[in-house]
């Protein structure tokens, strides 16, 4: 995955839709979702300075000795120095991915509200349908007959359209947005801001880019690595990204 730029030439724009990704972003889910980097505070020198403050030491650039210290901190899970590096992302994902993501309560979140706006309704339509694992309730397997694939994708697309149609009809009837939104499906795409320190981001990535994690959220975890790796390259290398 490579960071992309979809907003070249919009530098003079002051206000735009939140559903347009920022300059630094990675697209996922066959281009239907994305995660973007909004801002970052701190770098790898921040981590080593936080770790060495007990000794009254401070550095302005990384050395080999600092890299050894970073490896020690990662290996021994001394995470507090990493909490001084903070990232803010903006995420465009299906509701079911949002639900998994926001179980991580060490992040700070703010999300678009369908109580306030009905614009930019979009639904995720998977390009590949997985089968249910027979020995793991929460897992899927990459085996499903071609005919079943086509039928399942068609049903999902129909359900998405029916969901949108019901929502729009309710609004036309005068139903309030806060109730009408109840008919929108789990495939509805949502957008939220998410801020996290590097220590908790590393924990998130260890769980969400794991063989046991759902494929869709793994795509986002891998995108986060792509965005963060150039900013903390030593930590990324030590972590095996």
- Exactly one of 98, 114, 181, 208 is catalytic; name it: 208
Candidates 194, 197, 168; CA nearest to 183 is 168
Exposed e or buried b per residue across 60-94, where buried means at least 16 C-beta atoms within 10 angstroms of its C-beta:
eebeeebbebbeebbeeeeeebbbbbbbebbbbbb
DSSP 8-state class, residue 89: E
CB 43 within 8 A of CB 232: yes
Q: What angle do CA 222, 227, 233 make, to 5 degrees?
A: 100
114 is catalytic: no
Interatomic CA distance for residues 176 and 139, integer angstroms: 37
What amino acid positions are annotated as catalytic residues?
208
């Amino acid at each position: 995955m490579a960071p992309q730029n979809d907003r070249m030439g919009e530098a003079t724009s002051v206000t735009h839709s939140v559903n347009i990704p920022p300059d630094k972003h990675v697209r996922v889910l066959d281009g239907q979702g994305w995660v973007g980097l909004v801002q970052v505070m701190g770098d790898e020198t921040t981590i080593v300075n936080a770790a060495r403050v007990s000794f009254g030491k401070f550095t302005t650039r990384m050395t080999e000795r600092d890299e050894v210290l970073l490896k020690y901190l990662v290996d021994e899970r001394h995470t507090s120095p990493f909490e001084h590096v903070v990232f803010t992302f903006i995420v465009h994902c299906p509701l079911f991915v949002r639900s998994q993501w926001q179980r991580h309560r060490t992040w700070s979140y703010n999300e678009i509200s369908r109580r306030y706006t009905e614009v930019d309704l979009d639904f995720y339509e998977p390009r590949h349908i997985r089968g249910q694992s027979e020995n793991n309730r929460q897992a899927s397997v990459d085996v499903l007959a071609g005919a079943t694939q086509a039928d399942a994708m068609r049903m999902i697309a129909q359900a998405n359209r029916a969901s949108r149609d019901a929502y729009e009809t309710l609004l036309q009837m005068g139903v309030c947005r806060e109730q009408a939104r109840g008919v929108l499906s789990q495939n509805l795409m949502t957008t939220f801001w998410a801020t996290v320190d590097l220590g908790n981001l590393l924990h998130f990535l260890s769980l969400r880019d794991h063989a046991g994690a759902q494929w869709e959220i793994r795509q986002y975890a891998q995108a986060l690595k792509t965005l963060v790796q150039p900013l903390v390259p030593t930590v990324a290398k030590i972590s095996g990204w």
